Amino acid sequence: MASKSTISRAQRSSVADFIGIKADQLDDMFVCESWSADLATGIVWIGPQTAAFHGVAGQTCGILDIIQPYDPADWHKILLALEEAATVATDISFGTSIRPMAGLYRPVFCFGHSEITATGGAIVGTFATARRCLETTSTMPALLN
């Protein structure tokens, strides 16, 4: 059985809407965990399954640790979105994929909002990471794990 999301029912509904699936399908298809970033220190806190999917040793890391396993073609847009969120209170969202090895990808969606204060602020949000890798070499993607 799939582990349950660590996010609220309202967040689950928003995440499912963004991904384009029904909210009751979310737990079967995605691991959803909360995350936050302290803008004064640059430290990011992520859930244990999100850390494992991203290849991060612990639940605290830096932004570059998070984006390193992503498709390099997406790095620039993700860094721009995070930079904007670090300077102006705003909503943030992006979709990308983790490339665990050639021919495979694992979709990742990130959502959040930033709050800016005189001493820095924070970004808080949700990571939704697909439970299964998809194959890129066939005409129709196939679920692998």
> What is the β-pairing status of strands 134-135 and 104-117?
antiparallel
Whether the Cβ atoms of residue 48 and residue 34 lie closer than 8 Å to each other = no
For residue 23, give the H/E element and its range.
none
* pLDDT at site 21: 85
Residues 6+ apart with CB under 8 A from 64: none
Q: Over its length of 145 residues, how does the chain's per-residue pLDDT go in tens digits?
A: 345 556 777 777 888 888 888 888 888 899 999 999 999 999 999 999 999 999 999 999 999 999 999 989 999 999 999 999 999 999 999 999 998 888 889 999 998 999 999 888 999 999 999 999 888 765 545 444 4
Cα gap 32→12, rounded to integer Å: 8
pTM of the full structure: 0.83
Cα gap 31→132, rounded to integer Å: 10
φ, ψ of residue 86 to 5 degrees: the values are: -80, -15
